Amino acid sequence: MALLLAAAAAFASPAAAQGDSTTQDNSTTVVISDVQAVQLLIANNRLDDAKRLLERVLAADPDDREGLFLEATIAVAQKDYDVAISLYRRILVREPSAERVRLDLARAFFLKGDYDNAERQFRFARAGNIDDTVKANVDHFLSEINRLREWTFNFAFALAPDTNQNAATSANQVNIFGLPFALDKAARKQSGIGVAGYIGGEWSPLLAHNVKARIGANLYRVDYSGGQFDDMIVSTYGGPQFLFANWDFSVLATGFERWFANKDYLRGIGGKLAVDYGITSNWLVGVSAGGQSITNKFVHEEGGPLWSAQTQVTYVLTPSSLFQLQLGANRQEAQIAPYSYSAVWFGGGYQQDFPFGFSAAFQPNYSITSYDAALAAFGKARRDDAVSLSVTLLNRRLDYHGFTPRFSYIFTKQNSNISLYSFTRHQFQIGITSLF
């Protein structure tokens, strides 16, 4: 039922001014919808009245887009950001390209202090059909996020079936010193079901107007039955970050430790320089270069300095999609030439939000690794090329306190001129994540 608002303006007629007993009623009645009435009530800060009227709108149609949007607007005004975020996401489940909704969702995340999600939504909204004034306002928010973001936290946990949990060859025998040798079962590929988990975080307090500190740590672990293929990596970094109008520059000390089969395997310590450009743009370019001194506890001769460099370019195509390109190179100077190598890799990525809450990501990657000298046992220098493909699917409709279910599949195939190092692997992960 429409709400009737009477707006009357009575003007005395010339006759009335002369004392005529006859008057003329010039009042008019304007009919507006319930939704328009709610908008007027919100504009006049009558939020409780607006909520009561909205209850009638949503009782008639619980999925009314404008009703949900206005309910979220009221929640933001009342600083109930979790409710507002849930409502905005509910709309985006059906309309992932609605840039206005993404703008308001980004602002709700910003006001809550969830700067990672705020940045993501602002970048998607910026790629939409919005005018230059709004883009300038978005750029201001992005710049402030880069300054104000103090805590970043990511988490994922999954059941992990794996057709080749030890990344080993399927061959039954290999030639060593020109003679065939049968491979022990433990040296051939083995399938299994594991449990994989990742947790990472960064603390980056603002030290001065354009200087921040960055201190971060990440932990990844996968457990398989029996424990002989369990894998865990802990990495840390820390250093200053210098902020500029549209880019930033970090100087970081880095380190990591890796355990395989629950035994010390690798460790490294070194440093890295990192630059991010395009903080306020649909383009974001990240470049980093660094080095570490590597110690290998299993094969000591593989230890030595490792140098690396990589570039990642991200372009937000639309309010519901983005594209990435990556390029990298590594150089390992091992203690002996047969273990020293040079590697290059490149890849891409495409992410798309779909209706009904689904999001999908597609990431291919290709790498080439060439070793410096021949391995005595095989009579030739090792050369590997590997291709991998990752597909991830999640549903944003199923969101519980910032976590959503995720399914991912990773295919890896490595070809080597030494058959011992060739393998094919299919990995699956079914779990939850905060990275969406």
pLDDT in tens, 334-357: 999 999 999 999 999 999 998 888
- Return the minimum-mean-pLDDT range out of 8-22, 241-255, 332-346: 8-22
Mean pLDDT score, 274-291: 92
More confident residue, 391 or 99: 391
Which residue range forms the structural domain that includes residue 14? 1-32
Instruction: Give 239's strand partners.
Output: 214
- Extract the tokens encoding 126: 């910026």
pLDDT tier, 14 (very low <50, low <70, confident <90, very high otherwise): very low
Reply yes or no on whether the pLDDT at 105 is more than 70.
yes
- Report the CATH number at residue 205: 2.40.160.40
Per-residue model confidence (pLDDT) at position 4? 33
Between the CA of residue 90 and those of 63, 123, 124, 166, what are the distances in Å? 9, 19, 17, 42
Say yes or no to pLDDT of 370 above 90.
yes
The band of 32, judged by pLDDT with boundaries at 50, 70 and 90, is confident
pLDDT of residue 62: 85
Is 60 exceeded by the pLDDT of residue 8? no
Let me know whether 261 and 391 are in one domain.
yes
Across 413-426, average pLDDT: 94
Residue of 283, 407, 319 whose CA lies nearest to 102: 319
Q: Is the pLDDT of residue 13 over 60?
A: no
Instruction: State yes or no: pLDDT of 27 exceeds 80.
Output: no
- Looking at residue 322, what is its pLDDT? 95
Predicted local confidence at residue 185, as pLDDT? 65
3 state SS for 279-304: CCCCEEEEEEEEEEEEEECCCHHHCE
pLDDT in tens, 163-189: 998 888 877 666 665 666 666 666 778
Instruction: Report which secondary-structure segment, H or E, holds 326.
Output: strand 321-332
Which range, 31-45, 178-192, 234-248, has the best average confidence (pLDDT)?
234-248
Instruction: Look at residue 7 in the predicted model and tell me its pLDDT.
Output: 33
Tokens of 207: 């030290």
Q: What is the pTM assigned to this prediction?
A: 0.79
Is the domain of 18 the same as that of 167?
A: no
Structural domain contains residue 209: yes
- Here the tokens at position 234 are 């802990």
Is residue 144 assigned to a domain? no
Distance CA 211, CA 246 (A): 14
**Mean pLDDT (whole number) for 84-95:** 90
- Total number of domains in the chain: 2
Query: Which H helix or E strand runs over 243?
Result: strand 231-243
The pLDDT, as a whole number, for residue 270 is 98
Residue 38 lies in a domain: no
In-domain check, residue 398:
yes
Quote the percentage of the chain above a pLDDT of 90: 60
Residue 119 lies in a domain: no
Lowest mean pLDDT of 45-49, 83-87, 234-238, name the range.
45-49
Residue at 359 is within a domain: yes
pLDDT in tens, 213-236: 999 999 999 999 888 899 999 999
Mean pLDDT over all residues of the chain?
87
Question: Residue 294 in contact with residue 304, Cβ under 8 Å?
Answer: yes
Q: Which residue do the tokens 């969702």 mark?
A: 105
47 domain-assigned: no
Give pLDDT, residue 194.
92
Note the Cα 167 to chain centre separation in Å: 27
Tell me, yes or no, whether 262 lies in a domain: yes
